[in-house]
């Protein structure tokens, strides 16, 4: 994924946990939330349509190895972010698009804590073509998600 105006020293292919770096170039790792400004300019692609989050901000991305699952709407697994366990949900399944087999997750900061979602890709936010996902409505209360 190319981001307009991004420095060439940043590589999006090899991700370690919640940091990005290009190994062997002497570049420093940086948190995704520190690289993109403003943070609200990010969206996720699910079901071939960009979506943003109401009630949460994307703070990191990481790779995810899909596990066998039964199609339930419960958390499909857990990841770690800054020492805390974060539940991982299949966003496509929660939105009714069917299961997503992508290896990419985004971690979203909410008032109740962090939540991770499996997504197709991270895209630039476009106000005209992006659907907003209300996390409170998605889970019936954020405390139930985080």
73 within some domain:
yes
Start-end of H helices in 59-140: 91-94, 135-139
Contact by Cβ (8 Å): 99, 71: yes
Asked, for residue 2, whether it belongs to a domain, the answer is no
**54-63 core/surface letters (b: 16 or more CB in 10 A; e: else):** ebbebbbbbe
70-109 pLDDT per residue, tens: 544 478 888 888 888 888 888 888 888 877 777 788 888 8
| In-domain check, residue 5 | no
Q: What is the pLDDT of residues 2-45, one digit of tens each?
A: 444 433 333 333 334 433 333 333 333 334 444 444 445 577 77
List the domain range (segments joined by +) for residue 120. 38-145
Residue of 55 and 134 predicted with greater confidence:
134
| pLDDT of 120 strictly over 50 | yes
User: Is 94 within the bounds of a domain?
Assistant: yes
Answer whether residue 101 is part of any domain.
yes
- The CATH number given to whatever domain includes residue 74 is 2.40.50.180
Domain annotation covers residue 3:
no
Q: What is the pTM of this model?
A: 0.56
- In this prediction, residue 128 carries a pLDDT of 66
Q: Would you say 87 and 74 are in contact if contact means Cβ atoms under 8 Å apart?
A: no
35: enclosing H helix or E strand: helix 32-35
**Into how many domains does the chain fold?**
1
Report the chain's mean pLDDT, rounded to a whole number. Answer: 66
Per the domain annotation, does 99 fall within a domain? yes
Is residue 45 a part of any domain in this protein? yes
- What pLDDT score does 10 carry? 31
């Amino acid at each position: 994924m190319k981001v307009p105006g991004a420095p060439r020293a940043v590589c999006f292919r090899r991700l370690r946990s919640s940091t990005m770096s290009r190994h062997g170039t002497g570049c420093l790792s940086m948190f995704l939330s520190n690289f993109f400004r403003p943070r609200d300019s990010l969206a996720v692609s699910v079901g071939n349509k960009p979506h943003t989050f109401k009630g949460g901000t994307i703070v990191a991305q990481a790779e995810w190895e899909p596990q066998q699952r039964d199609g339930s709407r419960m958390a499909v697994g857990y990841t770690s972010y800054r020492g805390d366990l974060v539940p991982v949900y299949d966003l496509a399944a929660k939105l009714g698009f069917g299961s997503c087999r992508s290896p990419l997750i985004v971690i979203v900061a909410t008032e109740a804590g962090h939540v991770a979602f499996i997504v197709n890709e991270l895209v630039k936010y476009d106000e005209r073509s992006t659907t907003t996902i209300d996390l409170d409505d998605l889970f019936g209360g954020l405390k139930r998600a985080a």
